[in-house]
A = this chain, B = another copy of it.
Amino acid sequence: MDTQKRLDYLLVRLRERGNRLTPQRVAIIRTIINNTNHPSAEQMHSEILETFPTTSLATVYKTIRLLKEIGEILELGFGDDSSRFDGRKPHPHPHMICTECGTIMDSELDGFETIIETMARQTGFSVKTHRFDIFGICSSCKK
């Protein structure tokens, strides 16, 4: 993935919407895009502080919400009040979550969309989005 291209795309999109490109906002977005580990809000915040020390957690949350509203970040909320985010591939896709080490892995699945569409047609349900999480032990933790 070309992260630089995605960053430019997002900045242009925000500017065109009339959103301001503050240094904090740019730093937050850069972190979200570069981090491949599906970080939590806290993790993003810690990471951002290293390069831009005057950024509050509230602003991180506000930026996340902004990106959610325009569909540019995927939120993976879990029951225990711990949301993790995917700002690199914001379209819904399956995730495999290791309950041992907490790693979240992307998982493309051929024919997945087709299955959903078939189900939708059969039941008269208009699908807008979906969420598919698989929990278990990753190959590293099995050793």
Contacts and interface: CB of A to CB of B under 8 A. Distances in A.
A139 B94 CA distance: 26
A142 interface: yes
Contact of A132 (B81, B129, B130, B138): B130
Nearest to A130: B134
A73 to B, nearest CB: 13
A99 interface: yes
User: Which of under 10, 10 to 19, 20 to 34, or 35 or more describes the interface residues of A?
Assistant: 35 or more
A134 B116 contact: yes
Interface stretch (A2-10, A48-56, A118-126): A118-126
A58 interface: no
Given A131-B133, A134-B130, A135-B130, A124 B142 contact: yes
Given A107-B123, A123-B139, A131-B135, 17 more contacts: A77-B79, A79-B83, A94-B119, A96-B119, A99-B128, A116-B134, A120-B134, A120-B136, A124-B139, A124-B142, A125-B137, A126-B142, A128-B136, A128-B137, A130-B135, A131-B131, A132-B132
Interface of A: 75, 77-81, 83, 94, 96, 98-99, 105, 107, 109, 112, 115-116, 119-120, 123-139, 142
Top 4 A-B pairs ranked by shortest CB distance? A77-B79, A124-B139, A127-B136, A126-B137
